[in-house]
Amino acid sequence: MVTGATCGLGLRDEHINDLLTGEYPQLNFLELAPENWMGLGGRKAIQLKKISEKFPLVAHGLSLSIGDTQPLNKSFIHQIKQFLTDYQIDIYSEHLSFGRDQQGYLYDLLPVPFYPENIAYLSLRIMHVQELLGRRIALENISYYHQYPDNMSEIEFITALLQSADCDLLLDVNNVYVNSQNQGYDPYAFISALPAQRIRYLHIAGHYRQTDHHILDTHGRPVCPEVWDLLAHTYAHVGVRPTLLERDHFIPPLSELKQELAQIAALQTQTIPLRVSLAMDNLACEIRAGNTGEKSIDLYHHLLSGALGEIIQTCYVRFFQCLTTEYAESLIYDFLAMHSCVQPAHHQLPTEFLRFLQTTTLPLFLKKIAEYEWLEFTAEISTMPSRDKEYPLALITTQILMLSPSVSLVELPFDLERLSPDFIPIPEARLYYRLIYTDSQGRVKHRHIQPYLARLIQLFQQADTVKTGEQILETFLLECQLGIEKSAITQSLLKLYEEHILMIHPNTEGIL
């Protein structure tokens, strides 16, 4: 669904290959004219299917001719309905115009009379179309160069029609500016008078100034500064809406349109009302700090720090066992007040806390304990590749082996098993090696291992090229000179494979 602060572009043949092959994170949706795609097969149909799978689509019709005096083309409307269903299109817009007379289609968008009696006539037609489609439609305010005698003002007519027909508005900001210059009205007052709740999405485009007093709506040039300013005013009045950049003539490469799309996105992010922004920023700042003396603020601080503390202490059990209750509480408060979390997912909170700990003056052994427990946590949430095929142990050393993704080898200058609230470890001359991994059932395992086995695992960590188990064993025996029999170290390697600490490299499985 296309809503909120999103940017779109009209789908043009010139851009299809680039859209299908490139990545355009600043482009949130595409708009197309159903009349240009309905009933087409072959390459065009294949391209549209692929486009619809990559981008949300919005339909902007050309031939409904809602304002003409001929019977509605129900067959055409049913085709539109099917097209919208086939491509899962949520928004269908058309023009407040007519493009057909008794002789047939004119293939243009001509203005309707802004007469009071036309409101009721158009309302019935609009409601009938909405009933046939089974959805609301949005009508666009067109640019026009002809004024009927005795017209109502455009803003009065459009506002009354939206209310009477109970439909939405596609607000073309450029058209407002063009008409204001050609017809002599205030574009800012026009937009301010529109019912914001009726505006479904926006158009913005460039135009061609023929003279000082006359503009043609060409969609063939970059958006001018005056229209950018009017778009900012629109956001301030109606709120941020999905906004489409129109470019129908002199179409440049997508790379050249990125700047205008970026400008739309920048305006969308800058239109938070200052009063709203200041109020929320101040509240968040006070909640982070706490102890304000204001009951509601301190309640939020207590609730938030308590919730964070519960998640963090569940991950860092050993770490918090080494702290007093008061110090643990103050550490959580400092984390809330001073750390800038960048990860949105809750399961990333332990990672954020570890980042925070690295900036503190905590003793090194406490940081080491936290790092160890973080590795346990990451092992628990890591994805374990499945073994599609089991090899006889006798063949394992002939395969190219690697460490399983969940495995971590940790060097500690103290014995983790001796930790307690009263224990302050003194770094020892020897290192303690701990292995963290997940077994075949996804359960986290951790244990103390001997230095020779740690060295074998390090060889797998350091391997800059793929090697078989046999090649790793040979390197180990040549390097270590520990008097360990090859058969013994081979058994250790096979045990590592059985415990899912080692795995066969997925890209080379069974090739030897």
Whether 208 and 281 share a structural domain: no
pLDDT above 90 coverage of the chain, percent: 45
Residue 141 pLDDT exceeds 90: yes
Q: Say what the pLDDT of residue 29 is.
A: 96
Q: Tell me which of 249, 271, 293 is where a domain ends.
A: 271
264 and 293 share a domain? no
pLDDT given at position 222: 87
Spatial separation of the C-alpha atoms in residues 165 and 137, rounded to whole Å? 10
- 271 falls in which pLDDT band (50, 70, 90)? low
**Separation of alpha carbons 228 and 238, rounded Å:** 15
Q: Does residue 115 sit in the same domain as residue 221?
A: yes
Give the domain-ending residue among 216, 249, 271: 271
168 contacts 209 by C-beta, under 8 angstroms: no
Whether 464 maps to a domain, the answer reads yes
With respect to residue 42, please indicate whether it lies within any of the assigned structural domains.
Answer: yes
Say what the pLDDT of residue 51 is: 95
Q: Do 356 and 401 belong together in one domain?
A: no
Which residue has better confidence, 59 or 507? 59
- pLDDT winner (highest mean) among 62-71, 102-111, 141-150, 380-389: 62-71
β-strand pairing of 401-403 with 502-504 = antiparallel
> Does 204 lie in the same domain as 106?
yes
The answer, yes or no, to whether residue 483 has pLDDT greater than 80, is no
* Same domain, yes or no: 267 and 282: no
* Residues 477 and 432 reside in one and the same domain: yes
Does residue 510 surpass a pLDDT of 60?
A: no
155: CATH:
3.20.20.150
Domain residues for the domain of 86 are 7-271
**204 and 140 in one domain?**
yes
Is residue 374, in this structure, part of any structural domain at all?
A: no
What would the pLDDT profile of 190-204 be if each residue is shown by its tens digit? 999 999 999 999 999
Q: What is the pLDDT of residue 200?
A: 97
pLDDT of amino acid 273: 60
Indicate which CATH number applies to the domain containing 476. Answer: 3.90.930.50
pLDDT, averaged across the chain:
88
Task: Report the run of H or E that residue 349 belongs to, with start and end.
Answer: helix 349-358
pLDDT confidence of residue 87: 95
382 inside domain: no
Q: Does pLDDT of 511 surpass 60? A: no
| Least confident piece of the model among 228-232, 241-245, 467-471 | 467-471
Higher pLDDT, 247 or 274: 247
- Asked if 267 and 290 sit in the same domain, the reply is no
Tell which wins on pLDDT, 155 or 300.
Answer: 155
Indicate the pLDDT class of residue 147, thresholds 50, 70 and 90.
confident
pLDDT at 465 over 70: no
Average pLDDT of the residues in 68-89? 96
436 within some domain: yes
Is residue 274 predicted with pLDDT exceeding 60? no
Cα distances from 71 to residues 98, 306, 311, in angstroms, run 12, 66, 65
Question: Which stretch of DSSP H or E encloses residue 210?
Answer: strand 208-211
Is 439 inside any structural domain? yes
Average pLDDT of span 497-510: 80
> How does residue 464 score in pLDDT terms, banded at 50, 70 and 90?
low
pLDDT at 131 over 90: yes
* Lowest pLDDT segment from 139-153, 213-227, 302-316, 329-343: 213-227
pTM above 0.75, yes or no: no
Number of domains in the chain: 3
Q: Which residues of 109-143 are buried (b: 16+ CB within 10 A; e: fewer)?
A: bbbbbbeeebbeebbebbeebbeebeeebbbbbbb
Q: In this structure, are 100 and 213 located in the same domain?
A: yes
Residue 511 located in a structural domain: no
| Arithmetic mean of pLDDT, 395-402 | 87
| The token pair that represents 471 in the structure block | 């090649």
Q: How many angstroms separate the CA atoms of 68 and 61, rounded? A: 15
Q: Which helix (H) or strand (E) holds 172?
A: strand 168-172
Tokens of 461: 């960590």
Same domain for 474 and 405: yes
Model confidence pLDDT, tens digit, residues 16-48: 999 999 888 889 999 999 999 998 888 889 999
Asked if residue 331 lies in contact with residue 321, where contact means CB atoms within 8 angstroms, the answer is no
Do 42 and 158 belong to one domain?
Answer: yes
